[in-house]
A and B are shown apart, each in its own frame.
Chain A
Amino acid sequence: MTKIKNLLSFVTQSRAISHTNPREHILNCLTYGLLVIVALCAGFLLWDLSSSPRDGFFHGKRDSHTLILDLEHIQELAVNPEAEQRARNVNCTFWDCLNIYKCEHDRLKVYIYPLQEFVDEQSDKTATTLSSEYFQILEAVLKSRYYTSNPNEACLFLPSLDLLNQNVFDKHLAGAALASLDFWDRGANHIIFNMLPGGAPSYNTVLDVNTDNAIIFGGGFDSWSYRPGFDVAIPVWSPRLVRQHAHATAQRKFLLVVAQLNILPRFVRTLRELSLAHSEQLLLLGACENLDLTMRCPLSQHHKSLEYPRLLSRGKFCLLGRSLRMGQPDLVEIMSQHCIPVIAVDNYVLPFEDVIDWSLASVRIRENELHSVMQKLKAISSVKIVEMQKQVQWLFSKYFKDLKTVTLTALEVLESRIFPLRARSSRQWNTIDTNARSTFNPLFLPSLAPKSQGFTAVILTYDRVESLFLLIQKLAVVPSLQSILVIWNNQKKSPPHLSTFPSISKPLKIRQTKENKLSNRFYPYPEIETEAILTIDDDIIMLTTDELDFGYEVWREFPDHIVGFPSRIHVWENVTMRWHYESEWTNQISMVLTGAAFHHKYWSHMYTHAMPGDIKDWVDEHMNCEDIAMNFLVANITNNPPIKVTPRKKFKCPECTNTEMLSADLNHMRERSACIDRFSKIYGRMPLRTVEFRADPVLFRDNFPDKLKRYNDIGSL
Chain B
Amino acid sequence: MGAFLFRRFALTLVTLLGITLMTFLVMRIAPGGLTAGTTDLSARVSAHEQRKKFAALYDLDKPWYVQYGRWLKRLSRLDFGRSFKDDRPVLEKISERLPNTLLLNVLSLGLVFFVAVPLGILAAVKQNTVWDRAVSALVFIGFSAPTFWLALMLMMLFGVTLGWLPLSGLHALNADELSATSSVLDMARHLVLPVLISAFAGLAGLSRFVRNGLLEVVRQDYVRTARAKGLPESRVIFRHALRNALIPVVTLLGLSLPDLIGGGFIFETIFAFPGMGRLGFDAVMARDFPVVMGVGTIAAFLTLAGNLLADVTYALVDPRIRLAGKHR
Decide if A and B are genuine partners: no
Q: Which residues of B approach A to under 8 Å, CB–CB?
A: none
Q: Which residues of A approach B to under 8 Å, CB–CB?
A: none
